[in-house]
């Protein structure tokens, strides 16, 4: 019998209306949403369901919104007796994974990601940093392009998502130079991302240093379920290590392809994407055609997940 991994999406997976069917169907899930609103000081349900969309896309709001909806969904799965063999999350999704693994309680996680989002927004002046995806090139090619494009500025591989899909991050002018070089050197497509900063690059180090203090004060426990970290593509064993990798995660690449390969090599053959969107399902299918991937983002998807269990 193969193993099941729950994987949790990050920024970019949000959409208006997310979590509504869950909140309407389950009072405990609704209580999580209301509790998050209380902690954050604004109506999170209204933001998730009515927008405005521009506000929901701002890092400071996106992060607690996605964490909350993902946790509502994982709480529904647990209430039906489901449990993962292992969890992982993409960038912000790592916090949802840590809640599912029992390392973070929900309230602590909401407070941390709201703070994380603000620090990430503030780390680099608006418009000075950006991210772009290069399609059809391998890691060595992208790393070489970044070195050539830097010219004293920062541009680095930031998300190693799946074969032929690597996101770069850094100063806007350096990223633009790298995009031009990527196109010249045979990238299938080069697309600037709609993000508010150069996330997962060394420009986030100042934010990470401040955030380290928040993590030091936070109540973090050893995981009850195995967790693989973005920054290392390896298992985290205890609370101290979780604090270290969450600091490192802010300025390090998300090693998603390695994470999925590692899980598959250790017997995971079923992935449940727990959270809004289908981004991770698409990436996992590009990494391996042999695994089963199912998404759970709204109430109508529950039956399919339960059938597989």
Residues above pLDDT 70, as percent of the chain:
100
Task: Please determine whether the domains at 3-123+203-308 and 129-195 fall in the same fold group of CATH.
Answer: no
What is the predicted pLDDT for the residue at 135? 98
What is the predicted pLDDT for the residue at 80? 96
User: Is residue 1's pLDDT more than 70?
Assistant: no
Query: Tens digits of per-residue pLDDT, 12-68?
Result: 999 999 999 999 999 999 999 999 999 999 999 999 999 999 999 999 999 999 999
Instruction: Give the C-alpha separation, 65 to 59, whole Å.
Output: 10
Query: Tens digits of per-residue pLDDT, 104-144?
Result: 999 999 999 999 999 999 999 989 999 999 999 999 999 99
The overall average pLDDT reported for the chain is: 97
What are the angstrom distances between the C-alpha of 172 and each of 43, 60, 91, 146, 187? 34, 21, 21, 12, 19
Question: Is 200 annotated as catalytic?
Answer: yes
Question: Could you tell me the residue ranges of all domains in the chain?
Answer: 3-123+203-308, 129-195
Query: Tens digits of per-residue pLDDT, 221-275?
Result: 999 999 999 999 999 999 999 999 999 999 999 999 999 999 999 999 999 999 9
What is the predicted pLDDT for the residue at 28? 96
pLDDT bracket for residue 2 (50, 70, 90): confident
Choose the catalytic residue: 171, 200, 201, 252.
200
**Which residues, 6 or more positions from 245, have their beta carbon under 8 angstroms from its beta carbon?**
229, 230, 231, 232, 236
Residues above pLDDT 90, as percent of the chain:
97
Query: Tens digits of per-residue pLDDT, 183-197?
Result: 999 999 999 998 889
Among candidate residues 222, 20, 6, 24, the one with its CA nearest the CA of residue 96 = 6
What is the predicted pLDDT for the residue at 89? 98
- Residues 3-123+203-308: name the CATH superfamily: Malonyl-Coenzyme A Acyl Carrier Protein, domain 2 (3.40.366.10)
Choose the catalytic residue: 91, 96, 169, 196.
91
In terms of DSSP H, where are the helices of the chain?
A: 20-25, 27-40, 44-50, 53-56, 59-79, 93-100, 106-122, 139-150, 172-184, 205-217, 239-251, 256-265, 279-287, 302-308
Question: What's the rounded mean pLDDT across residues 212-220?
Answer: 98
Query: Tens digits of per-residue pLDDT, 151-191?
Result: 999 999 999 999 999 999 999 999 999 999 999 999 999 99
- The domain defined by 129-195 folds into Alpha-Beta Plaits (3.30.70)
Question: Is 80 annotated as catalytic?
Answer: no
Q: Is the separation of the CB atoms in 115 and 237 below 8 Å?
A: no
Type and span of the H or E element at 159:
strand 155-162
- CA 250, 253, 257: angle at the middle one, nearest 5? 130
What is the predicted pLDDT for the residue at 194? 87
């Amino acid at each position: 019998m193969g193993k099941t991994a729950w994987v949790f999406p990050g920024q970019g997976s949000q959409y208006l209306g997310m979590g509504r069917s869950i909140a309407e169907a389950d009072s405990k899930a609704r209580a999580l949403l209301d509790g998050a609103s209380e902690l954050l000081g604004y109506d999170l349900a209204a933001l998730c369901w009515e927008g405005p969309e521009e506000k929901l896309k701002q890092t400071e709001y996106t992060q607690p919104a996605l964490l909350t909806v993902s946790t509502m969904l994982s709480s529904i799965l647990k209430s039906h007796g489901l449990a993962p063999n292992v969890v992982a999350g993409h960038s912000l999704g790592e916090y949802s994974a840590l809640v599912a693994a029992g390392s973070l309680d929900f309230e602590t996680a909401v407070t941390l990601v709201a703070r994380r989002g603000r620090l990430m927004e503030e780390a680099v002046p608006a418009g000075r940093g950006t991210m772009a995806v290069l399609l059809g090139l391998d890691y060595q090619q992208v790393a070489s392009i970044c070195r050539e494009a830097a010219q004293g500025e920062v541009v680095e591989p930031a998300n190693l998502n799946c074969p032929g899909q690597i996101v770069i991050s850094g100063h806007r002018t350096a990223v633009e130079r790298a995009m031009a070089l990527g196109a010249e050197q045979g990238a299938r497509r080069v697309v600037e991302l709609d993000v508010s900063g150069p996330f997962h690059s060394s420009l986030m180090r100042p934010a990470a240093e401040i955030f380290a203090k928040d993590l030091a004060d936070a109540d973090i426990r050893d995981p009850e379920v195995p967790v693989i970290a973005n920054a290392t593509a390896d298992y985290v064993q205890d609370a101290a290590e979780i604090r270290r990798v969450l600091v490192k995660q802010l300025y390090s690449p998300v090693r998603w392809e390695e994470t999925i390969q590692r899980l598959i090599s250790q017997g995971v053959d079923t992935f449940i994407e727990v959270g809004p969107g289908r981004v991770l399902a698409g990436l996992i299918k590009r990494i391996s055609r042999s695994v089963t991937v199912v998404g759970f983002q709204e109430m109508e998807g529950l039956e399919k997940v339960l059938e597989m269990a």
